[in-house]
Structure 1
Amino acid sequence: MPDFKQFLLADTAEGLTEAEILGWRVQPGDVVSVNQIVVEVETAKAAVELPIPWAGKVTELLVQPGQTVEVGAPILTIDVDPSGAAPAMNGSAPAAEDEEMKPLVGYGSKTVAAKRRARKAPETPAPQEPAVPAARGGYVPLAKPPVRKLAKDLGVDLTALAGSSDGVITREDVERAAAPPAPAPVSGARERRVPIKGVRKATAQAVAASAFSAPHVTEFLTIDVTPMMEFRERLKKHPAFAGLKLTPLVFAAKAVCLAAKRTPDVNATWDEAAGEIVYKDYVHLGVAAATPRGLVVPKIRDADAMSLRELAVALEELTATARDGKTPPADMLNGTITITNVGVFGVDTGTPIINPGEAAILAFGAIKDMPWVVDGELAVRKVLQLALSFDHRLIDGQQGSQFLADVGAILADPAMSMTY
């Protein structure tokens, strides 16, 4: 007989509570294999593709694209024995039906006790007219348990509906009945409303919490980076950097890692609950990236242990993955300090908000040709503005100024890195 299981929305990263269904990769009637990708969801951190832990035939999609559902809610029903119960091998008893379903390795879902209950063989109904549920005594609407639950949650009376699928009431029937009538279009309307969800919702909550919990101080520094830009051109011709996208941000990443060694306060965390300051002997460098789904901050793990070339490779891979919306949620956790490149938009500088859990963030502005005094004479040079926001609970003005000056010195003269 059929053996139906419900596929639950798993927690794809620590602390997530909900996700939006972006799109289904399967439809009812499709046969799927173990570990096959069946759905793409957007969490508060990234878009994630979810595999299914069973093989079988998809019987129903319980959630439509665009809907947001809570972690642990059923989103798909599958028949894992569509051909009927398999006979016992060598006369042995069937496998225990109450066996705990193991999640996929690295999948993150909680274990679910999958129990099979006896079902009567479906009877072929005789042809009849669709039920018209007026006030008929004894009328029982045909609907699956998830649809009945949905109707109850939405306050829809199933006896007032006629099923659109051979007399069976579907989720779509219930949702149509629950939906308010569409407002009449307003001539000349110049507004549109978009639900706050996904990455945008998470970003808003994070920056608001950071802005009002960590006392921000922002300092600015303008520097001549002509020597750095000349050094960059030389490196681009070096065989070790052939084919790499050697952006100025790579030099900033290296400068931040070097300067953090001299001012470890910028790479620390304020632990309010424990009443401690946690100093990190490693740099998990966050790089703020603008994506079609909003701002994300993936991390380069142990960036301080990387060479300039390794940083260039890591930064290129990180930005490409973020731009495609494929950054794994785990890659956006546990950063220690962040860089945001506002210069890519032609902006000189800004006052960035510290990433939650970190002590500082560096804004890297646009590099522009500007007049600059060199050896007492006016010249046109490559000029850059930096802005450092830091948590004043952790970092005093002296430490913040020292760190910013060190970053500036390395960018103004890359040879200074030999002294760090």
Structure 2
Amino acid sequence: MTATMIKEFRLPDLGEGLTESEILSWKVAVGDTVTLNQVIAEVETAKAVVELPSPFAGTVAALHEQPGTVVEVGKPIVSFEVDDAGSSNGGSAPTAGAPAAVESSGEASPAKREPNLVGYGAVVEHSGRPTRRARGQAQSEAPRETPASTPAVAGPTQQRPSETEAAERPRSTPPVRKLARDIGVDLELVSGTGPGGLITREDVQNFTGAAEAPAEIPVLVQGERETRTPIKGVRKFTAAAMVQSAFTAPHVTEFLTVDVTATMELLTRLKGNRAFEGYKLTPLTIASKAVLVALRNNPTLNSRWDEASQEIVQFNYVNLGIAAATPRGLTVPNIKDADRLTLRELSTALTELTDTARAGKSSPSDLSGGTISITNIGVFGIDAGTPILNPGEAAIVALGAVRKAPWVVNDELAVRQVMSLSLSFDHRLVDGEQGSRFLADLGAILSDPAMVMTMI
């Protein structure tokens, strides 16, 4: 008879030091047999909806919290009856009636290594082979602050190709490569359905069967004369972050209205270019690239204020945040190392980022580590605004609507396509001159895209 024991799974820190999460739904019930890394619950943090994989293989003995309950990190949420010999390496379910001991997943002895509960997944036993890094991924000379990575989730059995076949890196974008790393997919085994064989997010999800459903919308409590919405999750986090930002960083906002007729004409030409066939190109795509170029000559806007060490930290990379309105509230996921992407790669990354955000499936790491942000208020028909900085960033750019308006060209009045740019920056980090030069450079690029040649 195989000995069994009861193992408790405590709610882990799902990233960025968050202290609590809400149980949205259980994917298992008491008595169910689960495998290592099987998704057992869906929880909502202040930043994202996250699927929790099981750190054990065994039988669900108890569910300690009900859906809708907000649980503090470190509290037990589920107990498993597991095989004493194979509790952390995918052992089979325990034999019914076998004696059971109780052990917490966070209190294992060094001799019996348990899954790591920091992060939001189970840690598979190390095989002795180092984790392969994506080839060609350049590293910044300056140390980076990076969020905890998501442990790999077990997927289909993967056969590695030969060294000759692996010599050429599969075509994909940084967000797709990150997704593949997060869920344990080898991109060399995935067939791309995108332009020119590009591997898309859907290709990776279809390979693992991990396609996700849209996030749930918070339940409203309606009375005769009012509607009440619980303040929690993203809404609660956003409110706290904006208050902190508004009352911590001295905001300055500047405005510039520019003639973007040349940019809109360029956009039309690119859409008809075979090299961009299948790519989604918008004014946001071009403006994002323009922001990245303008930062090269104005790097102080890509920095943060470190209150603890009393230092200004200037980033030698750009994690470009894009404000997105989602069913769960405003989020600002960011494109990692956006400054290293070509225009086509940036287009793909923007599409994937916004689609994931609107589906409510941005991961905690997607929402952390941004260095500068863009908010596209023009899609709502708004011309200008005074955007509040994303906490920890020195600047945010608001893109206004593109409108036809009278404009003076060569001393003559003409109808042109015009856009207003708004730039908010932290005056502790960025002087008025620096902010003004950045905004002027951004406006120059959007007025005449050929100006890029003078800035790179």
Normalising by structure 1, we get a TM-score of 0.76
Moved more, 1-10 or 192-201: 1-10
Q: Secondary structure at the match of 2:401?
A: coil
Q: Is 1:318–2:331 an aligned residue pair?
A: no
1:157-236 to 2 correspondences below 5 Å: 189-236=224-271
Aligned AA for 2:116?
A: P
**How many angstroms does 1:192 deviate by?**
2.6
1:403 corresponds to:
438
Query: How far does the alpha carbon of each residue in 1:87-106 deviate from its partner, in whole angstroms, 9 at most, with x for none?
Result: 9xxxxxxxx99834223796
Give the equivalent residue in structure 1 for 2:364: 329
Q: Which has the larger radius of gyration?
A: 1
The Cα of 1:2 is off from its aligned counterpart by: 5.4
Give the secondary structure class of the aligned counterpart of 2:425.
strand
Q: Which residue of 2 aligns with 1:10?
A: 12
- Secondary structure, aligned partner of 2:434: helix
CA displacement 1:63-95 (0-9 Å, x = unmatched): 1111110111111222225424779xxxxxxxx
Q: Give the match's secondary structure for 2:416.
A: strand
SS for the counterpart of 2:291 is helix
Alpha-carbon distance, 1:3 to partner: 2.7
Query: What's the offset of the Cα at 1:35?
Result: 0.6
Aligned AA (1:99): K
Cα–Cα, structure 1 residues 223 and 253, in superposed 2: closer, same or farther, change >3 Å? same
Tell me the distance in 2 between the aligned counterparts of 1:84 and 1:278: 58
- TM-score (structure 2 length as normaliser): 0.70
Alignment of 1:68-217 (within 5 A): 68-81=70-83, 82-84=94-96, 99-103=112-116, 107=120, 189-217=224-252
Higher mean C-alpha deviation, range 189-198 or range 406-415: 189-198
- When residues 50 and 224 of structure 1 are mapped into structure 2, their CA distance, relative to the original with a 3 A threshold, is same
Query: Which residue of 357, 374, 385 maps to 2:392?
Result: 357
Q: Following the alignment from structure 1 to structure 2, what is the Cα–Cα distance between the partners of residues 42 and 102?
A: 22
| Structure 2: runs of 5 or more not aligned | 84-93, 100-108, 124-220
Task: From 287, 291, 294, give the equivalent of 1:252.
Answer: 287
SS at match of 2:365: helix
Q: Give 2:354's aligned amino acid.
A: T
Secondary structure at the aligned position of 2:225 is classed as coil
C-alpha distance 367-97 of structure 1, shift in aligned 2 (>3 A): closer
Query: Structure 2: which amino acid aligns with 1:334?
Result: G
Give the corresponding residue for 1:56. 58
**Aligned equivalents of 1:86 and 1:74: distance in 2?**
23
Letter of the structure 2 residue corresponding to residue 247 of structure 1: T
Task: Quote how far apart the aligned CAs of 1:282 are.
Answer: 1.4
- 2:165 corresponds in structure 1 to none
Paired residue secondary structure (2:366): helix
Whole-angstrom distance in 2 between the partners of 1:378 and 1:192: 51
Quote the residue 1:125 is aligned against: none
Q: Given that residues 301 and 394 in structure 2 are in contact (C-alpha distance below 8 angstroms), is that contact kept between their aligned partners in structure 1?
A: yes
2:115 counterpart letter in structure 1? K
**Equivalent residues of 1:287, 1:298 under 8 A apart:** yes
How far apart are the structure 1 equivalents of 2:67 and 2:268?
48
Segment drifting more, 220-229 vs 74-83: 74-83
Per the alignment, residue 182 of structure 1 pairs with: none
Residues 394 and 106 of structure 1: is their aligned pair in 2 closer, same or farther, counting only changes over 3 Å? closer
CA displacement, residues 392-411 of structure 1 (integer Å, 9 cap, x when unaligned):
11111111111001001101
Q: Render the CA deviation track for 1:306-358: whole Å, top value 9, x for unaligned.
A: 11111111111111111111111012222111111111111112100011111
| Match runs of 1:9-48 below 5 Å | 9-48=11-50
Q: Distance in 2 between matches of 1:298 and 1:398?
A: 29
Instruction: Work out the number of aligned pairs and report it.
Output: 338
CA distance in 2, matches of 1:97, 1:241: 54
Partner SS, residue 195 of structure 1: coil
Q: Which runs of 5+ in 1 are unaligned?
A: 88-95, 111-184
CA shift, 1:415, in A, is: 0.8
Specify the alignment match of 1:278 in structure 2: 313
Q: Determine if contact 1:365/1:385 at 8 Å carries over to the other structure.
A: yes
Letter in 2 for 1:364: L
Structure 1 residues 291, 369: closer, same or farther in 2, change over 3 A?
same
Q: Deviations over 1:279-301 (max 9, x none)?
A: 22211111111111111111111
SS in 2 for 1:259: helix
Q: Is this contact kept in 2: 1:9–1:109, CA < 8 A?
A: no
Q: Give the distance between the partners of 1:56 and 1:343, measured in 2 at CA.
A: 52
Are the equivalent residues in 1 in contact too, given 2:405–2:416 (CA < 8 A)? yes
CA-atom RMSD in angstroms: 2.4
Structure 2 CA distance, aligned partners of 1:388 and 1:54? 49
Report the CA distance shift for 1:374/1:284 in structure 2 as closer, same or farther (over 3 A).
same
Tell me the percent identity. 61
Change (3 A) 1:268 1:406: same
Secondary structure of the structure 2 residue equivalent to 1:332: coil
Q: 2:447 aligns with which of 406, 412, 415?
A: 412
Q: Say if 1:105 and 1:394 are closer, same or farther in 2 by CA, change over 3 A.
A: closer
Report the secondary structure of 1:3's partner residue: strand
Q: In structure 2, the residue corresponding to 1:38 is in which secondary structure?
A: strand
Contact 1:11 1:108 in 2 (8 A): no
User: Does the residue aligned with 2:74 lie in a helix, a strand or coil?
Assistant: coil
Determine if contact 2:374/2:397 at 8 Å carries over to the other structure: yes
C-alpha separation between the residues in 1 aligned to 2:274 and 2:224?
58
CA distance in 2 between partners of 1:218 and 1:298 (Å): 22
Q: Which residue of 2 aligns with 1:130?
A: none
